[in-house]
Protein backbone atom coordinates (compact mmCIF):
# COMPACT_ATOMS: atom_id res chain seq x y z
CA UNK A 1 0.00 0.00 0.00
CA UNK A 2 1.26 3.47 -0.88
CA UNK A 3 2.23 5.75 1.95
CA UNK A 4 -0.26 8.48 2.79
CA UNK A 5 0.71 11.92 1.49
CA UNK A 6 -0.21 14.92 3.65
CA UNK A 7 -2.55 17.45 2.07
CA UNK A 8 -4.43 20.40 3.50
CA UNK A 9 -8.23 20.37 3.39
CA UNK A 10 -8.07 23.39 1.06
CA UNK A 11 -5.73 21.54 -1.33
CA UNK A 12 -8.01 18.48 -1.35
CA UNK A 13 -11.03 20.70 -2.05
CA UNK A 14 -9.25 22.29 -5.04
CA UNK A 15 -8.43 18.84 -6.44
CA UNK A 16 -12.04 17.65 -5.95
CA UNK A 17 -13.27 20.81 -7.70
CA UNK A 18 -10.96 20.17 -10.67
CA UNK A 19 -12.03 16.51 -10.78
CA UNK A 20 -15.71 17.45 -10.84
CA UNK A 21 -15.07 19.99 -13.62
CA UNK A 22 -13.18 17.43 -15.70
CA UNK A 23 -15.89 14.79 -15.28
CA UNK A 24 -18.96 16.99 -15.71
CA UNK A 25 -17.81 19.67 -18.19
CA UNK A 26 -14.64 18.70 -20.06
CA UNK A 27 -15.29 14.96 -20.57
CA UNK A 28 -18.82 15.47 -22.07
CA UNK A 29 -17.48 18.26 -24.32
CA UNK A 30 -14.76 15.93 -25.68
CA UNK A 31 -17.24 13.09 -26.23
CA UNK A 32 -19.44 15.50 -28.19
CA UNK A 33 -16.44 16.66 -30.27
CA UNK A 34 -15.48 13.05 -31.07
CA UNK A 35 -19.00 12.15 -32.17
CA UNK A 36 -19.20 15.28 -34.37
CA UNK A 37 -15.83 14.48 -35.93
CA UNK A 38 -16.93 10.87 -36.58
CA UNK A 39 -19.94 12.20 -38.45
CA UNK A 40 -17.58 13.93 -40.89
CA UNK A 41 -16.51 10.57 -42.32
CA UNK A 42 -12.95 9.32 -42.99
CA UNK A 43 -11.20 9.20 -39.59
CA UNK A 44 -7.68 8.70 -40.98
CA UNK A 45 -7.46 12.25 -42.30
CA UNK A 46 -9.79 13.89 -39.80
CA UNK A 47 -7.72 16.36 -37.75
CA UNK A 48 -10.61 17.28 -35.43
CA UNK A 49 -11.11 13.63 -34.54
CA UNK A 50 -7.43 13.08 -33.74
CA UNK A 51 -7.23 16.31 -31.72
CA UNK A 52 -10.32 15.35 -29.71
CA UNK A 53 -8.94 11.85 -29.06
CA UNK A 54 -5.64 13.33 -27.90
CA UNK A 55 -7.46 15.74 -25.58
CA UNK A 56 -9.51 12.82 -24.28
CA UNK A 57 -6.29 10.96 -23.43
CA UNK A 58 -4.90 13.96 -21.50
CA UNK A 59 -8.19 14.47 -19.66
CA UNK A 60 -8.58 10.82 -18.67
CA UNK A 61 -4.93 10.80 -17.51
CA UNK A 62 -5.51 13.88 -15.34
CA UNK A 63 -8.69 12.36 -13.89
CA UNK A 64 -6.75 9.21 -12.95
CA UNK A 65 -3.92 11.29 -11.48
CA UNK A 66 -6.28 13.35 -9.30
CA UNK A 67 -8.19 10.27 -8.13
CA UNK A 68 -4.89 8.60 -7.16
CA UNK A 69 -3.69 11.71 -5.28
CA UNK A 70 -6.95 11.96 -3.35
CA UNK A 71 -6.99 8.26 -2.49
CA UNK A 72 -3.43 8.47 -1.14
CA UNK A 73 -3.98 11.77 0.68
CA UNK A 74 -3.98 12.17 4.42
CA UNK A 75 -6.18 15.26 4.59
CA UNK A 76 -5.32 17.57 7.46
CA UNK A 77 -7.71 20.32 8.52
CA UNK A 78 -5.33 23.04 9.64
CA UNK A 79 -8.02 24.88 11.62
CA UNK A 80 -8.37 21.92 14.00
CA UNK A 81 -4.65 21.64 14.78
CA UNK A 82 -3.55 22.25 18.34
CA UNK A 83 0.22 22.04 18.19
CA UNK A 84 0.90 24.43 21.10
CA UNK A 85 2.71 27.00 18.97
CA UNK A 86 5.01 24.50 17.25
CA UNK A 87 5.49 24.55 13.48
CA UNK A 88 3.70 21.53 11.98
CA UNK A 89 2.31 20.59 8.58
CA UNK A 90 -0.30 23.15 7.58
CA UNK A 91 0.94 25.90 9.89
CA UNK A 92 1.34 29.43 8.59
CA UNK A 93 4.68 30.82 9.72
CA UNK A 94 5.85 34.44 9.73
CA UNK A 95 9.64 34.67 9.48
CA UNK A 96 12.17 37.46 9.58
CA UNK A 97 15.49 36.88 7.88
CA UNK A 98 18.48 37.61 10.11
CA UNK A 99 19.83 41.04 9.38
CA UNK A 100 16.34 42.46 9.07
CA UNK A 101 16.13 42.08 5.28
CA UNK A 102 12.40 41.47 5.36
CA UNK A 103 9.50 39.46 6.68
CA UNK A 104 8.02 36.51 4.77
CA UNK A 105 4.94 34.42 5.47
CA UNK A 106 4.70 30.78 4.38
CA UNK A 107 2.17 28.02 4.85
CA UNK A 108 3.62 24.51 4.91
CA UNK A 109 1.59 22.34 2.52
CA UNK A 110 1.80 19.07 0.60
CA UNK A 111 4.08 18.70 -2.42
CA UNK A 112 1.19 19.01 -4.90
CA UNK A 113 -0.09 22.22 -3.34
CA UNK A 114 3.21 24.11 -3.19
CA UNK A 115 3.26 27.52 -4.90
CA UNK A 116 6.04 29.80 -3.68
CA UNK A 117 4.45 32.88 -5.29
CA UNK A 118 1.32 32.26 -3.19
CA UNK A 119 3.40 31.68 -0.03
CA UNK A 120 2.76 27.91 -0.05
CA UNK A 121 5.91 25.85 0.53
CA UNK A 122 6.25 22.10 0.28
CA UNK A 123 6.63 20.14 3.50
CA UNK A 124 9.68 18.49 1.90
CA UNK A 125 11.44 21.79 1.07
CA UNK A 126 14.62 22.68 2.99
CA UNK A 127 12.98 25.64 4.73
CA UNK A 128 9.93 23.62 5.84
CA UNK A 129 12.11 20.77 7.10
CA UNK A 130 14.15 23.27 9.13
CA UNK A 131 10.97 24.84 10.60
CA UNK A 132 9.04 21.70 11.59
CA UNK A 133 8.98 21.25 15.36
CA UNK A 134 10.29 24.75 16.13
CA UNK A 135 8.38 27.42 18.07
CA UNK A 136 7.70 31.14 17.93
CA UNK A 137 10.80 33.16 18.88
CA UNK A 138 13.29 30.46 17.86
CA UNK A 139 16.11 31.05 15.39
CA UNK A 140 16.25 28.58 12.51
CA UNK A 141 19.12 27.93 10.13
CA UNK A 142 18.12 26.84 6.64
CA UNK A 143 20.65 25.23 4.34
CA UNK A 144 19.91 26.98 1.04
CA UNK A 145 21.73 26.51 -2.27
CA UNK A 146 23.24 29.99 -1.88
CA UNK A 147 24.50 29.21 1.63
CA UNK A 148 22.97 29.03 5.10
CA UNK A 149 20.26 31.55 5.97
CA UNK A 150 18.99 32.34 9.44
CA UNK A 151 15.39 33.20 10.25
CA UNK A 152 13.56 34.13 13.43
CA UNK A 153 10.08 32.69 13.78
CA UNK A 154 7.83 35.69 14.52
CA UNK A 155 4.52 33.83 14.66
CA UNK A 156 2.90 30.45 14.06
CA UNK A 157 -0.79 30.21 13.14
CA UNK A 158 -3.14 27.40 12.24
CA UNK A 159 -5.67 28.78 9.75
Mean pLDDT of 21-35: 95
pTM for the complete prediction? 0.77
Mean pLDDT of 6-12: 90
Q: What is the pLDDT of residues 91-141, one digit of tens each?
A: 999 999 887 778 999 999 998 899 989 999 999 999 999 999 999 989 999
Any idea what DSSP says for residue 132?
T
Q: Could you tell me where the beta strands, DSSP code E, fall in 3-157?
A: 5-8, 73-76, 92-97, 103-109, 120-122, 139-144, 147-157
Domains and CATH numbers, the chain: 5-76 (1.10.287.180), 78-157 (3.10.50.30)
pLDDT at site 130: 93
Amino acid sequence: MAAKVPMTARGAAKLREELTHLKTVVRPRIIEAISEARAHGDLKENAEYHAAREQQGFTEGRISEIEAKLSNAQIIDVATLHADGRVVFGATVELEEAGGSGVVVYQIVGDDEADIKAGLISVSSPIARALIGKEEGELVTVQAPGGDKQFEILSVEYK
